[in-house]
């Protein structure tokens, strides 16, 4: 199994976070030509209070956010719009960790008029791409990342979230 899901907020159980995370992470790696069986991703299903603490501790932003990611190593390319170098299989299969907040995700899905499962899937795809070195701070990088997100979600039968 690619993902290991830890549930801190029981509402994630009814949202089926474990299955959605596995499906999204597997689809993302497969789309990029990486064998999902060779990698591990940890996913924490939490609430807004917990993610706000994590956001403050790691990003100096003391407010909740929808999803956070911590790559096991920095894979970001230096040149804007460049593709990150793919990870090499080895003795440590960990790509990194993801935390996702139930309250924020539920609110965002409701505000956008989309199913919660679709929004969760999008956020996990987004976070896995961060683990692989993709980012959206520079416009060129955002274009690359969003294009991949749309392609992966399309393969999963989900609408373009942008």
Closest listed residue to residue 114, CA positions, set 46, 53, 161? 161
Dist CA 53 CA 83 (whole Å): 31
**What tens digit of pLDDT does each residue of 96-151 get?**
999 999 999 999 999 999 999 999 999 999 999 999 999 999 999 999 999 999 99
Q: What are phi and psi of 99, to 5 degrees?
A: -125, 140
* Backbone angle region of 69, left / alpha / beta, with phi > 0 → left and psi within -120 to 50 → alpha: beta
Alpha helices in the chain (DSSP H): 11-15, 17-31, 48-59, 102-112, 116-131, 139-155
> Left if phi > 0, otherwise alpha if psi is -120 to 50, otherwise beta: which for 157?
left
pLDDT bin (cut points 50, 70, 90) of residue 91 is confident
Strand-strand pairing, 94-101 and 67-71: antiparallel
* pLDDT score, position 90: 83
- Give backbone dihedrals phi and psi of 112, rounded to 5 degrees, phi first: -85, -5
- pTM comes to 0.96
Rg (alpha carbons) of the chain, rounded to whole number:
15
Q: Residues 17-29: what's their mean pLDDT?
A: 98
Assign 92 a pLDDT band (cuts: 50, 70, 90): confident
pLDDT score recorded for residue 51: 98
CATH number of the domain located at residue range(s) 3-155 in this protein = 3.40.390.30
What residues are designated binding site for Zn(2+)?
126, 130, 136
> Bridge partners of 99?
44, 68
pLDDT at residue 3 is higher than 90: yes
DSSP SS3 for 41: strand
């Amino acid at each position: 199994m690619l993902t290991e899901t830890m549930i801190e907020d029981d509402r994630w159980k009814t949202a089926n976070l474990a299955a959605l995370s596995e499906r999204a992470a597997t689809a993302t790696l497969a789309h990029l030509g990486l064998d999902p069986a060779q990698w591990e991703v940890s996913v924490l299903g939490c609430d807004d209070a917990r993610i706000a603490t994590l956001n403050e501790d790691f990003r100096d932003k003391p407010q909740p956010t929808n999803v956070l990611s911590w790559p096991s190593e920095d894979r970001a390319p230096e040149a804007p719009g460049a593709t990150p170098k793919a990870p090499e299989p080895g003795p440590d299969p960990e790509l990194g960790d993801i935390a996702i907040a139930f309250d924020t995700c539920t609110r965002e899905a409701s505000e956008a008029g989309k199913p919660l499962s679709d929004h969760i899937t999008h956020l996990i795809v987004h976070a896995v791409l961060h683990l692989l070195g993709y980012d959206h701070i520079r416009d060129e990088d955002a274009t690359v990342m969003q294009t991949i997100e749309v392609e992966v979600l399309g393969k999963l039968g989900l609408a373009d979230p942008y």
